[in-house]
Amino acid sequence: MRIKGITVSWLVLILGWAPQVVAQMPAVSGDICAGELGAKVDAIANRPEFSRSRWGILIQPLSSTTILYSRDAQKYFIPASNVKLLTTAAALQKLGANFRIRTSVYSGENGNLYIAGRGDPSITETQLKSLASQLKQRGINRVNDLIGDDSYFQGNAVNPNWEWEDAQAGYGAPINSLMFNQNAIELILSPQAIGQPLKVTFAQPKLTNQWQIQNNSVTVGQNESEFVQVGRDFDRPAIRVSGQLKAGAESESAYVAVINPANNFLQHFQQALAAEGIAVKQALLASSYRNFTQELATVESPPMAELVKETNRESNNVYAEVLLRLLGKFTGNMPGPQEDTIEVGLKELKTALTQLGVNPNSYILVDGSGLSRHNLISPEALVQTLRLMANSPTASFYRASLAVAGESGTLKNRFITPNRVILQAKTGTLSGVSALSGYVEVPNYEPLVFSIIVNQSDLSAPKVRSAIDEIVLLLNRLRRC
């Protein structure tokens, strides 16, 4: 989920990115020889503040398997959102850059309509209005039963390996076949006078009467810190808001996951139909899959190349989890009707990467986004994936999906330095975990591929990221000697 502004304290720790203050990094001059690199990287990783942390690093030329630097590169680390590098590589390999997700409305008996979702995470009011308009053009003015088919993805909507608080947040929203607005609800938090609670409004005003707000937030003075925390109950529509913003500050957005995503989709589609003058007697979910025939209306997602770009560049967990499940739907072996699409997707991901040439024993995944701490990846697996994808038919789409240092996505506010760093990479952040893996174009050397992962850190994420960035800046100074 693309989250704007200030986020909850635990949100900062478990997204693949965190809002960052733009830091002007000092200019670093003086080239270094490749033979000097090891000692200089060690000098950073061996600092006393990292004595209890684990570093996993692998740095190689993009064109060969020559090792410029390696530190526990074959060992497992918790990778956070670097998992997305594997998920998106497998999706491009298996489904192709032009693959699109189709959502269809079919005719039924007795004036009924069926809407079949296939997990498109990009659906908003725009797409629902398009479907309603297409139906209106076909002369449909009344629907007896609007029936939602939410059966395309089977199994758990929320990965059982995630922490409970992740499932409350928009970035950890449930993944199902009929999705609307990434299955998240946007709240707008606005400071008022000092001492007053923050004003909480819904981006979609129609939701105001459907949710109870428990507001324990406060507006504070200019010398106070700012933070907000938003969560929700699992068994009832109640949202909890706490934290503080400064008086006069801009409003901030926060997101919580919906409770019943398929019903939420149907409710919004029914509203779109009503806006077109199409009356719906009742809306309900299908109890089982049906083999549909006549398609009356359809919308399609952006192509896979764009879905992958949203996944990697913005570290979008919802998109990543959809891609994993899509892998599970397009398998050579037809899954059983009750087989969990996540499990099938994980098998297909490993098959696709093994065919690419990635060592299947170099990683263990349980999700597609990296939210779970049960994921284990070696720096070797990430570097292998990056190098092999650079020589694949979808290389340009894969590389273009990565954030660009100082310019876009989760790297927009990193590597702000007079000596430009030409870097495309994927970030990763969990509490105690920081990761950065990608490609760097070195002015006086050859292109490099690297993976840097820090685990078991008791330092703040910005301090660890700063040390990782120092290593990347070293790479930028390499020259042939």
Question: Residue type at 312?
Answer: N
The pLDDT of residue 335 is 55
The pLDDT of residue 352 is 97
pLDDT tens-digit readout, 390-423: 999 999 999 999 999 999 999 999 999 888 899 9
pLDDT of 312 strictly over 80: yes
The pLDDT of residue 26 is 46
Q: Are 341 and 155 in contact (CB under 8 A)?
A: yes
pLDDT tens-digit readout, 438-459: 999 999 999 999 999 999 999 9
Among the residue ranges 14-18, 161-165, 170-174, 358-362, the one predicted with the least confidence is: 14-18
Mean per-residue pLDDT, 22-41: 75
The pLDDT of residue 109 is 87
Question: Residue type at 296?
Answer: L
What is residue 451's three-state secondary structure? strand
Confidence of residue 333 (pLDDT cuts 50, 70, 90): low
Query: Number of helices (H) and strands (E), helices first, in the chain?
Result: 11, 21
Percent of the chain with pLDDT over 70: 92
Domains assigned to the chain:
9-97+305-479 (3.40.710.10), 101-301 (3.50.80.20)
pLDDT of 5 strictly over 50: no
Q: Are 228 and 217 in contact (CB under 8 A)?
A: yes
Mean per-residue pLDDT, 431-435: 97
pLDDT of 2 strictly over 50: no
CA–CA separation, 273 and 133 (whole Å): 8
Q: What distances in angstroms separate CA 214 from CA 8, 237, 239, 339, one per listed residue?
A: 16, 11, 6, 39
pLDDT of 324 strictly over 80: yes
Q: Are 190 and 201 in contact (CB under 8 A)?
A: yes
Confidence of residue 309 (pLDDT cuts 50, 70, 90): very high
Helix H or strand E encompassing 32? strand 32-33
The pLDDT of residue 231 is 87
The pLDDT of residue 454 is 98
pLDDT tens-digit readout, 267-283: 999 999 999 999 999 99
Its pTM stands at 0.91
> What's the chain's average pLDDT?
91
Among the residue ranges 29-43, 125-139, 282-296, 317-331, the one predicted with the least confidence is: 282-296
pLDDT of 342 strictly over 50: yes
Going 173 to 177 to 182 to 183, the CA torsion angle's sign is negative
pLDDT of 10 strictly over 90: no
The pLDDT of residue 336 is 61
pLDDT of 230 strictly over 60: yes
The pLDDT of residue 334 is 59
Q: Are 119 and 152 in contact (CB under 8 A)?
A: yes
Confidence of residue 259 (pLDDT cuts 50, 70, 90): confident
The pLDDT of residue 29 is 57
The residues, ordered by sequence, that sit 6+ positions from 309 with a Cβ below 8 Å of its Cβ are 397, 400, 401
pLDDT of 467 strictly over 70: yes
| Residue 319 CA neighbour count, 13 Å, CB half | 27
CA–CA separation, 403 and 224 (whole Å): 32
